[in-house]
Amino acid sequence: MSLGGSAHATGPAVHPAAPTPYGTPHTTGKLPLAGRVIVIDPGHNPGNSHHTAQIARLVDVGNGRKECDTTGTATNAGYPEASYTLDVSRRVRAILQARGATVKLTQDGNLPYGPCVDERARIGNAAHADAALSIHADGGPASGRGFHVIAPKSLRAGIADTRAIAAPSLRLATTLRAHFAAATKEPFATYLAGGKGLTVRDDLGGLNLSKVPKVFIECGNMRNSVDARALTDAAWRQHAAQGIADGLTAFLEGKR
C-alpha cells in the first residue's frame, strides 16, 4: 500500500482468537449473508500510473489533506499491487455472493484511475454497507514478511467522525486477522506493530471518512521474496480470498 503516511504505526496488543471455520455455502434454506451489503475496495488502480497529475491532487480527509490516490507498490519482478488487489477482490466477491451478500466494488477495472480515497469511503457510506474492506499489499522492508490489518482510530476532526465505527471496526479487524491467518498460513507482519498483525491509524482517508465499519488488510509484503511468491500465485490468492470472505462472514454473523 502507498496511501501516504508511515505504515509503521503501532496498535494495541490484541490477542488473536481461534477462527470459526466456514465450508461451502448453504445449499438449502436462507443463505448466511442474505440481505447483507458488503463493499470491497481494491486498493489503487492499474491505470493510476498513467494519471499521475489526477491522483496527486489533495483531498480532505478530516484531519488533513492527502493525495487522491497513489500508484501502490509492486514485487521486485514488477507484479503490481493494483493487479493483486483487483484479482483478490473479485475472488472475494464471488465467495460472498454465493453466501447471499450484495457485494459492491469501489472499482472493477472500469475506471481510468482512482477513485480518490474520499470517494472510496463515500461509496461504502452510500451503500449503507454492513461492512467495508480495502484490500492491499504492502511495500515494506525486504527483510520483513507477513500481513497486518489496519483499523480506524476513534476521532472527530473536520469532516471525519469515526467514533461510532471505531469499536465495530476493531472487532472486524481482529476477526479478519484470525481467519486470514488460518486460510493462508501467512504470519503476522514481522516489521511493524510488534508482530501483532494489527495497527490503529488516523491518517488514512478511506478509514477516516467511513461511516460504516471498515478496515484495511495488507495481505503480505510485496518486497519480501517469500511473500512475493505467494502473492503472485493464483492458488494462494484464492486462499487469501477465502480467508477474507470467512472473516467478513464471521463478523457479520457476530462470531470470531
Catalytic positions are: 218
Phi, psi of 87 (to 5 degrees): -60, -50
> Any idea which residue has 482512482 for its cell?
114
* Nearest partner of 59 among 10, 18, 7, 115, judged by Cα: 115
| Sequence-ordered alpha helix ranges (H) in the chain | 52-56, 81-98, 117-126, 166-184, 205-208, 225-231, 234-252
In whole angstroms, what is the distance from residue 136 CA to residue 41 CA?
9
Q: How many whole angstroms separate alpha carbon 253 and alpha carbon 256?
A: 9
Query: 136 - beta bridge partners?
Result: 218
Give the relative orientation of helices 166-184 and 234-252 as an angle to the nearest 10 degrees.
140
Tell me the three cell numbers of residue 193. 506493530
* Residue 151 and residue 56 in contact, taking contact as beta carbons nearer than 8 Å: no
Strands 198-201 and 148-152: parallel
- How many angstroms separate the CA atoms of 226 and 235, rounded? 15
For residue 67, give the 3-state DSSP assignment. Answer: strand
Q: Cell digits for 240? A: 487469501
